[in-house]
Chains A and B, each alone.
Chain A
């Protein structure tokens, strides 16, 4: 009988499931990879076998041309891995297709959350609380200063700015996978049914979301339209395009950015953001700590983000925790 939980090993480049000789979210190519979701810091091409939800596999095919050796797993489905390890994919509420992975071996239960949030998101099913012995959690916003306001407030800010500047446009910087589609869906839910303009880099992912049943209303490409047509409209672009020459084709854009980091003024200032929208697909401090209380694991392992404060919180609440120091998932990963 080996030591408890010795079958699961954190490495700087991913989490290794020893008896199955497979990895979760490895940052280097491996023979067998279990992938939580399609963001680049978790999913990458070149694995021998890629196990993920069908949605995540579709995203990976679009982004990394992954189509050989794919193994789709539905939410709630359990897959038997070699060495007597069972893997179950559970909704994480982060982006389309995102999953927590529950691993069971020798009567021990470990959950790798991947990235997650606890708030409603019209583009993906909500995080499901699942009991386990060890919870391996992210901590992107693991500082008590990070509390994301209700998204309705932020939509309100955005629509007000639009209404106050009918001759201009509001350019929203948002990640191409997840954030952009969530914002569009939330705008539609708030009754904004005007066409929304997209940077070219957003188009394919939006189409993919629609193919998976997330309706986004009328979307237009910036490249196909004139400055005049875009007055009074919302334009969505990846954050890297905000201060790029690309934005010169827009009618006097008001620069907005949708990110959890916008909670801190100087962070918004560094990026030249005029309209900060505090919208994140990651759990904020209260969601992180509530999740740990809800799941109530015997021990928490913290993968990436601001782990120091979350470890301190565990200490203050007489809970066991350790930091895993994963590489490549630093600072601005969202």
Chain B
């Protein structure tokens, strides 16, 4: 556990990607099985211990330290695991270090965490914590509750794995989803030259091909095909050896929320598409899909009522086919895969699948005009796919582009600010803003319409933080209410009706577009202006 704790600390204290890669690679080479596999699972967020949650840690701490002192500390540090690791009382007598008791390994820890129940955790977890120093406790709690915050993505960890054993990262990515922690087969293959795992007959997730924003690039439509970018969630549907799985973009199995899709595929295939709900908001009657808001009602449900299945039936609008009847099509050009997909449509149930149509345009300028209609049709924008592109994991330059419609803009007034987490733990970086519910000169009030924590530079963040501290009128725990003195130009993708907010509105992807240091607050927009932008 000490080696893993030291690795986490070293990762926290470097911003260099190369340095992170060598630190992880070195650890993976030098650490025995299965410790290194568990560490890799921890770094990539693949571990989940049902009995240990952030609230478990808080409860343990509240038995050991005054709750007010805990809250003040947590608020300052900005991270529950770190606060707990620092405040955990050092055991009064360190158990005599005899040679017989080996120090706690990460495998011991994982094994022990896995057997804890909601009841036993209150005694078992303290026993582990008592055996470690502050760094070790931090590593243990991070491992148990997830969210390492060491600036290592799953992709980076896999790249480090490839680097450690000089294997191809694409192969690592491929086998990864077929295996469970501690990935002994993966290590046997990469480190000891064993045969790679047999993945053809597993209903596993294949990493998505993603797109770069188009920005100022112009493309030739002879080389690129255009499709609508539908506003649902990207999914992968896999059917192999009689089993069907529905995966989200992050590779999570979301089949339980959409049982109608699990029964819908009986051809052995791996399909890429957009999960949508039937309706007519996107692209009108022809478009056949409801707004994202309608889909959202169905996300994250463990059980789905019959009523929901009939009122808001889901379907997948297909973009691509990765595998078909045991054959891997990913190396083939996009237009070849597209033909295969079009031919496949006849064999699929029309209730559950349709094909994402190609958008025909004379040239790029014509396409730009067509894109202008996306807003009216409540579609997110366009996709541009290179006709000869193979299906490769991740974002490969020049292959696929997304060309989203321009965001909507509205001027809002800052109302509340909250401290951020992690790197921003000492800054007021999360802002709640509102619009006027009438004429502010006639005494109208501000109603909150959204919350944003991005879109500004570090230098702006410092200025905003100072503004919040100097203009606080009220404190509610970690939240500060500020004087109505600052206007934000907020960018957002769309706005919907919502019962959760007093204003009756909810924005999608709001972010700070510009800070209007110059603009008087009574010139900010009214709720009515925002309501007119609803396209549900």
B422 on the interface (CB 8 Å rule)?
A: yes
Query: Which residues from B are CB-within-8-Å of A309?
Result: 68-69, 72-73
Query: Which residues from B are CB-within-8-Å of A147?
Result: 86
Knowing A144-B87, A269-B13 are in contact, say whether A306-B76 is a contact too (CB < 8 A): yes
CB distance from A90 to the nearest CB of B (A): 30
Tell me if A265 and B76 are in contact (CB < 8 A).
no
Q: Which residue of B lies closest to A142 (CB)?
A: B72
Query: Which residues from A are CB-within-8-Å of B76?
Result: 143, 145, 264, 306
Query: Which residues from B are CB-within-8-Å of A322?
Result: none
Bound state CA distance, A312 and B426, in angstroms?
21
Tell me if A273 and B13 are in contact (CB < 8 A).
yes
Tell me if A145 and B73 are in contact (CB < 8 A).
yes
Tell me if A144 and B65 are in contact (CB < 8 A).
yes
B18 on the interface (CB 8 Å rule)?
A: no
Tell me if A267 and B426 are in contact (CB < 8 A).
yes
Tell me if B86 and A145 are in contact (CB < 8 A).
yes
Tell me if B423 and A143 are in contact (CB < 8 A).
no
Tell me if A306 and B72 are in contact (CB < 8 A).
yes
Q: Scan residues 87-142 of chain B and give those whose CB is less than 8 A from a CB of chain A.
A: 87, 138
Query: Which residues from B are CB-within-8-Å of A313?
Result: 69
CB distance from A320 to the nearest CB of B (A): 17
CB distance from B181 to the nearest CB of A (A): 25
Q: Which residue of B lies closest to A308 (CB)?
A: B72
Mark each residue of chain B from 302 to 327: 1 if its CB lies under 8 Å from any CB of chain A, else 0. 00000000000000000000000000
A274 on the interface (CB 8 Å rule)?
A: yes
Tell me if B12 and A269 are in contact (CB < 8 A).
yes
Q: Which residue of B lies closest to A262 (CB)?
A: B13
B77 on the interface (CB 8 Å rule)?
A: yes
A268 on the interface (CB 8 Å rule)?
A: yes
Residue from the list A263, A273, A312 in contact with B66, Cβ < 8 A? A312
Residue from the list A145, A268, A316 in contact with B77, Cβ < 8 A? A145
Knowing A309-B69, A312-B68 are in contact, say whether A145-B83 is a contact too (CB < 8 A): yes
B457 on the interface (CB 8 Å rule)?
A: no
Knowing A266-B425, A306-B76 are in contact, say whether A275-B13 is a contact too (CB < 8 A): yes
Bound state CA distance, A18 and B13, in angstroms?
50
Query: Which residues from A are CB-within-8-Å of B78?
Result: 266
Q: Which residue of B lies closest to A149 (CB)?
A: B134
A270 on the interface (CB 8 Å rule)?
A: yes
Q: Which residue of B lies closest to A275 (CB)?
A: B13
Knowing A269-B13, A308-B72 are in contact, say whether A264-B82 is a contact too (CB < 8 A): yes
Bound state CA distance, A145 and B68, in angstroms?
13
Bound state CA distance, A276 and B134, in angstroms?
15
Bound state CA distance, A267 and B423, in angstroms?
7
Tell me if A266 and B73 are in contact (CB < 8 A).
no
The interface centre, meaning the residue of A263, A264, A266, A331 with most chain B CB atoms within 10 A of its CB, is: A266
Query: Which residues from B are CB-within-8-Å of A306?
Result: 72, 76
B22 on the interface (CB 8 Å rule)?
A: no
Tell me if B69 and A144 are in contact (CB < 8 A).
yes
Tell me if A270 and B423 are in contact (CB < 8 A).
yes
Q: Scan residues 278-334 of chain A and give those whose CB is less than 8 A from a CB of chain B.
A: 306, 308-309, 312-313, 316, 331
A19 on the interface (CB 8 Å rule)?
A: no
Knowing A265-B12, A265-B82 are in contact, say whether A270-B426 is a contact too (CB < 8 A): yes
Bound state CA distance, A238 and B422, in angstroms?
25
Bound state CA distance, A294 and B242, in angstroms?
75
CB distance from A140 to the nearest CB of B (A): 12
Mark each residue of chain B from 390 to 401: 1 if its CB lies under 8 Å from any CB of chain A, else 0. 000000000000
A272 on the interface (CB 8 Å rule)?
A: yes
B14 on the interface (CB 8 Å rule)?
A: yes
B15 on the interface (CB 8 Å rule)?
A: yes
Q: Which residue of A lies closest to B90 (CB)?
A: A147
Which 9 pairs, one residue from A and one from B, show the smallest C-beta to C-beta distance?
A: A145-B86, A309-B72, A145-B73, A312-B68, A274-B13, A265-B12, A266-B425, A143-B73, A264-B77
Can you give 14 A-B contacts (C-beta < 8 A)?
A: A143-B72, A145-B76, A145-B86, A145-B87, A265-B12, A266-B78, A268-B12, A269-B12, A269-B423, A272-B15, A275-B13, A309-B73, A312-B72, A313-B69
